[in-house]
Amino acid sequence: MKYTSIKSVSHFRRIWQLVVTSIVLSLMLLWPGPALGQTSDWEWQNPLPQGNPLYGVWGSSSSDVFAVGDLGTILHYDGSVWTVMNGGTDTPLYKIWGSSSSDVFAVGDLGTILHYDGSTWTEMHTDTIMNIYDIWGSSSSNVFVVGSHHLPVGQLVGTILHYDGHTWTEMSSLANGPLLDVWGSSDNDIFAVGYTWIPGACHPPICLPGQFVSTILHYDGHTWTEMSSLANNVLSATWNEGRRNDFDLGSRLHGVWGSSHNDVFVVGTYNTDPFSNNWLPVILHYDGDTWTALDGYTNISFNEMWGDSGDDIFALVYNRISSEKLIFHYDGSAWSTMESGMGYGRSGVWGTSSNDVFAVGTNGTILHYDGNVWIAMNSDTGYWLSGVWGSSSNDLFAVGTNGTILHYDGNAWSVMASITNTILTDIWGSSGSDIFAVGVTTSYSATAIPPGTILHYDGTTWTTMNSIMDTTLASVWGNSSNDVFAVGTNGTILHYDGNSWTAMDSGTNSSLSGVWGSNSNDVFVVGTVPSLSSGGMILHYDGDKWTAMTGLMNNKLTDVWGSSGSDVFAVGFTETYSSTYTSISSTILHYDGSIWRYMDSDAAHVLTSIWGSSANNVFAMGQSGTILCYMGSTWTAMNSGAHASFSGVWGSSANDVFAVGGEGTILHYDGKTAPLNSIYLPLMVR
């Protein structure tokens, strides 16, 4: 808020400002939109129920299950459907646990602890900014959380908090590194695991690199003590024959679970040679007296586990060679791979019994195991969506990788039969029965180079068109069914006259990424000059020839849209190089019919696409869930509620806008919520 000092202000003006301020404050309180970091302005349409990464899952029964994840995501399952809950935060939440359906805790970054009383989530006071990674309790008045925080010198140390039913207090943990998981069999038998980083040291002529060392702590109801030495001795004896490899990176423990005080399992990963990427799984068992190592696989990392008993355990596993994300099962004697049917990473697992297990992970993945097979509980295309266009609010099309084409009928998205497996980058049509999709050429042969991909839809069938060029096409737009432009790499501009595609002379070899026009004699194309030292490119077509526009080109441009020939917006990004890093900031340019000018957005991500319903209602999309809205005066941020990056945006009106992007993300905006920070207090004078 700005303050301006003026020596003399009339009494009437002071009263008027107070009245206006009161009115604006009242509007802010009554406005139906959410506060920052609470709920999204946009609603999910794919994946469903949502697409942010999920990190933890827990329930009081098979019909009362909670899942938490990125951007404060909280989901609830009532035995039939998953629904999104409002937790009042956009901080990542990592794990969840409760003593009952009306006493549930969710934990995450910056000391965030939320509590659910059966009807509402509220934030609890902790007096800490530690990152909290896990939670477990024996009752509502005996709850433990573990995590880490940075000391002033930069060292990352483990932290444990305890809740007695009234207050959270910090406990002495003895951990010199982050604690990642916690579990107990009772009030006086609790285990916490993690790792400690020991810096390397040089004693010429020998220098040893730094090393990870496993951390296992035990709580007996009074004091936390270290069990780490026992575990590390087991690992050393098992994999290094009692000797430390000069390149040994050591072990990190990720998960702990047990069926009783004398049947406890700890899992993690161990690296003996970074040059060969020789990753070994850490699987330790504690019988109440001694830790022993269980045989495992190579090149995999155990991340999380849960079991119904000591001979019925489920573990989430990552294969560091194939990048597969798997679910393993332990039957009391050996681990075996389960067929989960999904290729996404998983971060949390929990169940009520051996035939009722839930697993969650990236892209909003939710799986359920009924004792026989794993079944996906969420809908997901599984592919990146790069473009969206529609003829109306109930006739939309979205395209993406692997030839993906989706259609929306006003109620649900469905997959259309595609005739290609290439990457489709953009889509545009003159009507629901005259649609063009362009894309990337992916197959080559020694005798023939196929042209860039162009598909056409006549309302019934998709067919391939002859694009005549062997370059990638990035964007398509038209003034009518017989006046269509497609642009791409190497300065490619193609024109369709209703019969065939022909190449136009662009006068450049730049990578062209966006095209839009107000009519057939007023078309704009934007792109990037293929040089790190160069910036953006803007071309204009007057119906006769393409010419380069000058000014404000020290940036990379990705898309263009306008409400008229004298109200055109271009978006992209600017890279600033230094000796140590490269910073990126958003770029928005505006053309008033005579000159291009920079617009201030205060965004720090690449902007990829732009669309508007009018000169006073424009949306710009970008990476990491970035959505900006322009309402005629300033650009303001909107809360997308999404982790993914966006690639395309289109709407039928200001109250019916669709955004598409990574991991099959499709969001919808109905106009009922206001952009963040778009309501301002009047200038205060004193």
Per-residue DSSP letters for 55-107? EEEEEEETTEEEEEEGGG-EEEE-SS-EEEE--S--S-EEEEEEEETTEEEEE
Q: What is the pLDDT of residue 228?
A: 65
Q: In what order do the strands lie in the sheet with 82-85?
A: 54-61, 64-69, 74-77, 82-85
Q: What mean pLDDT is predicted for residues 420-433?
A: 95
Bond from prior residue into 205 cis (ω within 30 degrees of 0):
yes
Strand partners, 524: 516, 540
What is the rounded (10 degree) CA torsion for 221, 226, 230, 234?
A: 110
Report how far residue 394's alpha carbon sits from residue 652's, in angstroms, rounded to the nearest whole number.
9
- pLDDT category, 295, cuts 50, 70, 90? low
Positive/negative CA dihedral, 365, 366, 369, 374? negative
What's the half-sphere exposure (Cβ side, CA atoms, 13 Å) at 267? 23
| Mean pLDDT confidence for 60-85 | 96
Q: What is the largest CA-CA distance in the chain?
A: 87
Please say whether the beta carbons of 136 and 144 come within 8 A.
yes
- Separation between Cα atoms, residue 91 and residue 174, nearest integer Å: 27
Q: What is the C-alpha to C-alpha distance for residues 197 and 251, in angstroms, rounded to an integer?
A: 10
Q: What is the amino acid identity at position 464?
A: T
**Do the beta carbons of residue 335 and residue 327 sit within 8 Å?**
no
pLDDT over 70, % of the chain: 79
Task: Measure CA 144 to chain center.
Answer: 28
Residues 406, 410, 412, 415, Cα dihedral to 10°: -20
Please state the φ and ψ torsions of residue 102, each to the nearest 5 degrees. -115, 20
pLDDT at 442: 59
Over residues 298-315, the mean pLDDT reads 87
C-alpha distances in Å from residue 492, one per residue of 336, 375, 502, 618? 52, 45, 11, 28
Q: Please state which of the ranges 144-158, 194-208, 228-242, 602-616 shows the lowest mean pLDDT.
A: 228-242
Please give the DSSP secondary-structure letter assigned to residue 236.
Answer: H
Residue whose token pair is 């939440």: 93
What distance lies between CA 188 and its chain's CA centroid?
39
pLDDT at 172: 81
- Long-range CB pairs of 416-423, under 8 A, 24+ apart, other chains included: 416/462, 417/462, 418/462, 419/455, 419/462, 419/463, 419/464, 420/453, 420/455, 420/464, 422/453, 423/386
Sorted by where each begins, the domain ranges of the chain are 385-669
Residue 603: the pLDDT is 79
CA distance 256 to 95: 14
**Of the ranges 23-27, 282-286, 448-452, which is most confident?**
282-286
Beta-bridge partner residues of 476: 486
Distance of alpha carbon 45 from alpha carbon 72, whole angstroms: 18
Q: What's the rounded mean pLDDT across residues 605-617? A: 95
Most confident of 36-40, 79-83, 279-283: 79-83
Which region among 211-225, 274-288, 362-376, 594-608 has the lowest average model confidence (pLDDT)? Answer: 274-288
Q: What angle do CA 59, 62, 65 make, to 5 degrees?
A: 35
Main-chain dihedrals φ then ψ at residue 22, nearest 5 degrees: -60, -40
Percentage of the residues of the chain whose pLDDT score is greater than 90: 60
Return the closest-CA partner of residue 369 out of 324, 312, 323: 312
Of the candidate ranges 278-292, 332-346, 571-585, the one whose mean pLDDT is the lowest: 332-346
pTM for the full model?
A: 0.83
Q: In terms of Cα–Cα distance, which of 557, 581, 578 is closest to 569?
A: 557
What does the pLDDT read at residue 239?
43
∠ Cα 259 334 293 (to 5°): 70
pLDDT computed for residue 117 by the predictor:
97
Q: Contact, 418 vs 671, CB < 8 A?
A: no
pLDDT attached to residue 154: 60
Residue 229 clears pLDDT 60, i.e. is over it: no
Q: How far is CA 437 from CA 477, 495, 551, in A?
A: 10, 14, 32
DSSP for 265-291 reads: EEEEEEES-TTTT-EEEEEEEE-SS-E
CA separation for the pair 7, 95 (Å, rounded): 56
Q: Express the helix, strand and coil content of the chain in percent, nearest 5 each.
A: 5, 55, 40
Say whether pLDDT at 686 is over 60. Answer: no
Gap between the Cα atoms of 521 and 78, Å rounded: 57
CATH architecture assigned to 385-669: 7 Propeller (2.130)
Residue with the larger pLDDT of the pair 277 and 462? 462
Q: Which residue has the tokens 């042209």?
A: 451
Residue predicted with more confidence, 26 or 388 = 388
Distance CA 404, CA 386 (A): 10
d(CA 114, CA 608) in angstroms, rounded, equals 35
Average pLDDT of the residues in 484-500:
96
CA–CA distance, 503 with 151 (Å, rounded to integer): 62
Choice between 354 and 685, residue whose per-residue pLDDT is larger: 354
Overall average pLDDT of the 99-105 stretch: 97
Cα separations (Å) of 120 from 86, 101, 116, 235, 354?
A: 8, 12, 6, 45, 31
- Cα atoms found within 13 Å of the Cα of residue 357, Cβ hemisphere only: 27
Report the alpha-carbon distance of residue 336 to residue 357 in Å, rounded.
17
Segment among 25-34, 64-73, 486-495, 658-667 with least mean pLDDT: 25-34
| pLDDT score of 238 more than 60 | no
Q: Quick check: 572 pLDDT over 70?
A: yes
